[in-house]
Amino acid sequence: MAQINENFLRLEKNYLFINIAKKLNAFKEAHPDADIIKMGIGDVTQPIAKCVVEAMKKGADEMGVKETFRGYEDSGAGYDFLREAVSGYYKSFGVDIPADDIRINDGAKSDCGNIVDIFGDDNIVLVTDPAYPVYVDTNVMSGRKVIYADSNEENGFAAMPDENVKCDLIYLCSPNNPTGSVYTKEQLKVWIDYAKKNNAVIIYDSAYEAFITEDNIPRSIFAVEGAKECAIEMCSLSKTAGFTGMRCGYTVVPHELMAKASDGTEVSLAQLWGRREGSKFNGVSYPVQCAAAAVFTPEGQEQIKENIRYYQHNAKVISAAFDEIGIKYTGGKNSPYIWFKCPDGMGSWEFFDFLLENANVVGTPGEGFGKNGEGWFRLTAFGDRDRTVEAMERIKKLLAK
Ligand code: PLP
């Protein structure tokens, strides 16, 4: 008899987006004329940059010609032209990552989950709470013990390590989803020192690095001394260049990163990761890799930044409205997310209903991201500009005391 992986039964039921959809549908049925504005989505809305689309078309055309057709990519790690381009991108903000340490993937979500294949099931995993749900789910699925570091109002939603807590794997995300908070270099150095002291590995999700506006906020954990001996980084073109429907990202496992086997032998994690990928992953499609490479050209950078500026402007509209009515928040400055406390002590879901009923605006209840999200709420800057302005006018009217 086939036995199931019983760990799946331990997963929290993911009610968040199902509940939102249910409540929204019920509201629409009761108020068919309501002009609803969605500020809850974490997906991008602007079309992909022209030169990126052109590069993808060219790649697709090459596949239809005998001389330029390509089948499997030999290494599965990504074409050299793209890995070099990513390496050059890191260099542009002062981080030296050789192309050999980079592997191209179909998005950061996959690798945030896949990476745990190279770690033992007895590892204790530390996740900051609230968090992007993949970090917890993927480790629960493989039966690992998950513990939490609280991100809360007191620490500006940037949890720091507790020296008395021991762990082996640490998930960090900056700029953070859902809170929009960021770690400074000094804060990351504390995490790096803590990881080294515990022989732990940091899994660093930098999916929103392109939204960083402040020069002193690192775009990569590898901008901080010592990270290459204790960290792995995942990044994605999803939010940077609108690739949520194209699927392309990259993972950096530095060649310096070593871990010990139970007999004390030093093992390269990059080698283990390469071995895992060689067995389970056959790479990203050629046209998508061509498109991704175009993102890193000067023309591509200029064009994708136009979209990022569009979202950043929306983030400013949201933050400015909250500043005006005196609602405190994190995010917005270096992130497309704005995270705030529900007014008058309302719970996250209570405020969701209140906002929908009284402003016809949909957001995301914070408790869907962990216990510290209870009583908090997320709005995103990925919407249409005029609709964002309209939504914030309604919210101002509703919440101004
Ligand atoms: N990491 C974080 C923090 C995210 O919020 C998301 C998507 O919302 C991802 C990773 C997933 O990115 P991808 O589309 O590359 O899988």
pLDDT digits over 154-170, tens only? 999 999 999 999 999 99
As a whole number, mean pLDDT of residues 87-110 equals 97
> Is a pLDDT exceeding 90 seen at residue 189?
yes
> Is a pLDDT exceeding 90 seen at residue 383?
yes
The alpha carbon of 206 and the centre of ligand 1 are apart by a number of angstroms equal to 9
Cα torsion 262, 267, 269, 273: sign: negative
> Is a pLDDT exceeding 80 seen at residue 221?
yes
As a whole number, mean pLDDT of residues 373-392 equals 97
Pick from 295, 293, 288, 300: nearest CA to 63 = 288
Determine the pLDDT at residue 165: 97
> What is the rounded average pLDDT for all residues in the chain?
96
pLDDT tens string 246-299:
999 999 999 999 999 999 999 999 999 999 999 999 999 999 999 999 999 999
Determine the pLDDT at residue 243: 98
The alpha carbon of 176 and the centre of ligand 1 are apart by a number of angstroms equal to 11
Fold type of domain 64-297: Aspartate Aminotransferase; domain 2 (3.40.640)
| Tokens of residue 99, six digits | 């192309």
Determine the pLDDT at residue 155: 97
The binding-site residues of ligand 1, defined as CB within 6 angstroms of any ligand atom, are 42, 107-109, 132, 173, 177, 205, 207, 236, 238, 244, 249
8 Å CB contact between 376 and 341: yes
> Is a pLDDT exceeding 80 seen at residue 14?
no
The alpha carbon of 111 and the centre of ligand 1 are apart by a number of angstroms equal to 10
Give CA torsion, residues 183, 273, 261, 256, to 10 deg: -60
Q: List residues bridging with 236 in a β-sheet.
A: 249
Q: Token match 């509703």: residue?
A: 398
Model confidence band, residue 25 (pLDDT cutoffs 50, 70, 90): very high
- Name residues whose C-beta falls within 8 Å of residue 262's C-beta, 6 or more positions apart in sequence: none
204 vs 228: CA distance, rounded Å: 12
Instruction: Give the number of other CB atoms < 10 A from CB of residue 156.
Output: 13
pLDDT tens string 130-145:
999 999 999 999 999 9
Pick from 260, 258, 261, 281: nearest CA to 270 = 258
> Is a pLDDT exceeding 90 seen at residue 183?
yes
How many residues can be counted in the chain?
401
Q: Token match 């179909």: residue?
A: 106
Nearest CA to ligand 1 atom 5: 177
| Helix (DSSP H) and strand (DSSP E) numbers for the chain | 12, 15
Considering just the CA atoms, what is the radius of gyration of the chain in Å?
Answer: 22
8 Å CB contact between 325 and 396: yes
pLDDT tens string 61-85:
999 999 999 999 988 899 999 999 9
Model confidence band, residue 16 (pLDDT cutoffs 50, 70, 90): confident
The alpha carbon of 369 and the centre of ligand 1 are apart by a number of angstroms equal to 14
The alpha carbon of 107 and the centre of ligand 1 are apart by a number of angstroms equal to 7
Fold type of domain 6-47+300-399: Aspartate Aminotransferase, domain 1 (3.90.1150)
Q: Where in the chain is the domain with CATH 3.40.640.10?
A: 64-297
8 Å CB contact between 99 and 221: no
Model confidence band, residue 28 (pLDDT cutoffs 50, 70, 90): very high
Phi, psi of 41 (to 5 degrees): -70, 140
The alpha carbon of 213 and the centre of ligand 1 are apart by a number of angstroms equal to 19
Q: What percent of the chain has pLDDT over 90?
A: 96
| Tokens of residue 237, six digits | 């073109």
Question: Mutate which of 132, 157, 212, 382 to test ligand 1's pocket (most atoms within 8 Å of Cβ)?
Answer: 132
DSSP string, 6-27: GGGGGSPP--HHHHHHHHHHHH
Residue, of 210 and 12, whose pLDDT is higher: 210
Ranges of H-type helices in 93-161: 108-114, 134-141
Phi, psi of 175 (to 5 degrees): -60, 145
| Tokens of residue 161, six digits | 């390590």
Determine the pLDDT at residue 15: 73
The alpha carbon of 209 and the centre of ligand 1 are apart by a number of angstroms equal to 12
Question: Mutate which of 41, 172, 233, 239 to test ligand 1's pocket (most atoms within 8 Å of Cβ)?
Answer: 239
220 vs 92: CA distance, rounded Å: 12
Q: Where in the chain is the domain with CATH 3.90.1150.10?
A: 6-47+300-399
∠ at Cα 82 (78, 88), nearest 5°?
Answer: 130
148 vs 162: CA distance, rounded Å: 10
Determine the pLDDT at residue 41: 81
Nearest CA to ligand 1 atom 1: 207
Determine the pLDDT at residue 17: 85
Q: Which atom of ligand 1 is nearest to the CA of 243?
A: 14
CA distances, 101 to each of 53, 273, 396 (Å): 27, 11, 48
Q: What is the pTM of this model?
A: 0.96
324 vs 116: CA distance, rounded Å: 44
